[in-house]
A and B are shown apart, each in its own frame.
Chain A
């Protein structure tokens, strides 16, 4: 059975790009446009991994990660942050909050797959 990945990003075009990339690699994909919508999806579905943007309206990525880490049922889902934020202090904060990897946009497709496969396996 395909592994399920949730993509969280406020740009519809960017979500579609990731969707095609990860679907082609054999994953089953769901999408959310911000942290709030993502929390609802996570409550409904068991995901194997989450790819999450940082700067989003309604609920940003770091708030989403900290909420997931406080949620008994979902606290161990691996989360990859995929963001434009390249500053070391932001990255450190993200990893301290509970993200497992921090990749910077524009992403290299191979690098993202490598990070996903490492965390899922």
Chain B
């Protein structure tokens, strides 16, 4: 790797990490809260007197900090585990998606979004680790859940094209709020810690990785299957759609 490029990449990753850690609730907020406790606490002998509201906030915020660290642990675990591949028919994988994504139902209702499966009965043998592939698909759907336009559908479909099995998740975004994945951001969003939008507290509960690592980990998983992961914007009339696509070679 060219030196200058390598260090630019380091710089960008570290910058993204620093930004992610300081944004929203969590570790950065804890640091400020502890400073506040320190300046407002009154020492009486061996005891500090601290305003309840302040301490309650520190305790509440700790959940967010824990979620962030748990997310990092999930990333470490995933990298650490060996990825055993098995040959399986694509229809078996696709057939499991509705059940696998049931846990997210409440989150979909909260955002008035619907999940639609376009089952075309696609068949073809692929070599994957099913549980890891489910993690990747779930993470894509969580991403759609975060940015999908209220009152619209998230569509999951699969098909075979030129010897490759495709899982395509597409959703409309509210283009007055987000610009989605513009061409210059298509590769950037796969970089560790890169975020297009600041983290929203309500999504920390469903995020497996957090910290701007979700798309990076999807890319890693799909890479383990010899496949490719792409995410990009599409225009459909005046609508802006984001499509995330997992492409896996069909076994010969």
Chain A positions near chain B (C-beta within 8 angstroms): 10-14, 16-17, 20-21, 24, 55-58, 84-87, 104-110
Given A57-B197, A110-B39, verify A17-B33 contact (CB < 8 Å): yes
B14 to chain A, nearest CB (A): 11
B66 to chain A, nearest CB (A): 14
The CA of A84 and the CA of B29, in the complex, are separated in Å by 11
Chain B positions near chain A (C-beta within 8 angstroms): 15, 18-19, 22-25, 27-33, 35-36, 39-40, 51, 53-54, 57, 60-61, 64, 177-178, 197-198, 200-201
Chosen A-B contacts, 6 in total, with CB atoms closer than 8 Å, are A13-B24, A13-B25, A14-B25, A87-B15, A105-B32, A107-B32
Are B29 and A57 closer than 8 Å at their CB atoms? no
Are A10 and B25 closer than 8 Å at their CB atoms? no
Residues of chain A contacted by B57 (CB below 8 angstroms): 13, 16-17, 20
Are A17 and B28 closer than 8 Å at their CB atoms? no
Residues of chain A contacted by B18 (CB below 8 angstroms): 84, 86
Are B23 and A84 closer than 8 Å at their CB atoms? yes
Are B22 and A106 closer than 8 Å at their CB atoms? yes
Residues of chain A contacted by B28 (CB below 8 angstroms): 84, 105-106
Residues of chain A contacted by B178 (CB below 8 angstroms): 57
Selected from A16, A24, A56, A105, the residue in CB contact (under 8 A) with B40 is: A24
A109 to chain B, nearest CB (A): 5
Most buried by A among B51, B61, B198, B201: B198
B190 to chain A, nearest CB (A): 20
